[in-house]
Chain A
């Protein structure tokens, strides 16, 4: 997994690629969110457009990120799901939990 982030006003967009799986992938996602919260960045968009695979550990890490950011008074939203990730979130009913967007401008505006 790889992750880079950029600021769009008060919102931080994290561009993620590769596989979010048990081990390094899940750990990197956790560290990235933790670092952003430590910097006071609690309006977070995870751009998953280049994530081609996610397992149950990765799903668990998304949920951890979501609840951690919420507890910090912020919000975490998802952008650009690939078909595999979309189907997996539907199967696990997490599509009803996360706010999911297909347009970056729209998701950034949604925080206002």
Chain B
């Protein structure tokens, strides 16, 4: 970790309340990092969706499994990691929630929202064997993130989203 990076991490139980805990923690970090109200909303929502994904899809709501949340504040962006203890998943196999046949689906919009609200978003195999969501947002006033530095485009992509 670079010396000018602030790092915070917490291990959460696989419990509904962990979603609120994670959101509140990241909102406090985002506010202290200087993000405005709209960006804080987007970051908070993305953290909620990441932890809901870990809680429900990753850990299958099993209370013996944990959710690992980490936040890095680098000189130019806030990076959030959400790691579950499930079996991982292939991002490209997640149905597109905007497809006509999925519009009335009662679930499957979390990854779409994270992609839409964050600057960078990716899912990689985690050290637990589960999925690790890595997403970031540029700090207010920071230079644009150069291509290839981190995850994928923020733009929602067809055929992907959970």
Contact = CB atoms under 8 A, between A and B. Distances in A.
Interface of A: 21-23, 55-57, 59-61, 63-64, 66-67, 84, 91-94, 96-97
B109 A60 contact: yes
Top-5 shortest CB links A-B? A60-B106, A56-B109, A23-B16, A56-B110, A64-B106
Nearest to A57: B52
B104 A63 contact: yes
Contacts of A60: 105-107, 109
A21 B48 CA distance: 9
B52 A55 contact: yes
Interface in B86-114: 97-98, 103-107, 109-110, 112-113
A56 B16 contact: no
A84 B41 contact: yes
Given A23-B16, A63-B105, A84-B41, A56 B52 contact: yes
Contacts of B12: none
Given A23-B17, A92-B112, 16 more contacts: A22-B19, A23-B16, A55-B45, A55-B48, A56-B52, A56-B107, A56-B109, A60-B107, A60-B109, A63-B106, A67-B104, A67-B106, A92-B109, A93-B103, A96-B103, A97-B104
B103 A97 contact: yes
B85 interface: no
